[in-house]
Amino acid sequence: MFDFGFGELLLIGIVALIVVGPKELPVLFRNVGRFMGKARGMAREFSRAMNEAADESGVRDVAKTIKNAANPVNSAMDGVRDAARSMTNLDPKSETGKLAKEREDAKKKIEANAARAAAERKKREADEALRRADALEAAMKAEAEPAPEPAPGASAEGQDKA
């Protein structure tokens, strides 16, 4: 409401000190503070009463309508949202509804075939890994078995030549 800077307040304080006197100055400031508090309370109460009266009379609804009308972008977006809702709520008996049903069925078939192909591929890979593991285990067993001992009576030279 009133805009007083530090300089103005200092000037008012000096004048009050001279006019009222140093003994009565604290009493004066206390009374001025009480008066300002009462004035602010009355202003707050008045503005609250005005807001309540505006709510009761529907002024806020009218203001909201005017604000929405003044913002065409939001109005256009509301139209787009309504159109999108009407497109997703299709009648199953209409041509568009039938096409949507066919597309949904085709989508499910494609997903099922893809899942089946993936399962078969994983099964082939697992079988191949199992064959590799069996081959590696057989090779390890063959290496771990000791070499057959020579038959009695065979010379060491004969073994070297063989």
Question: Mean pLDDT throughout 81-109?
Answer: 79
Cβ–Cβ under 8 Å, residues 61 and 69: no
Cβ–Cβ under 8 Å, residues 12 and 20: no
3-state secondary structure of 2: coil
pLDDT at 155: 55
Write out pLDDT tens, residues 27-82: 888 998 999 999 999 999 999 988 888 777 776 677 777 777 777 676 677 777 77
Distance of CA 58 to the CA centre of its chain: 36
Distance of CA 3 to the CA centre of its chain: 45
Q: Structural domain boundaries of the chain?
A: 93-143
pLDDT at 147: 61
Contacts of 69 (CB under 8 A, 6+ apart): 75
- Is pLDDT above 80 for 3? no
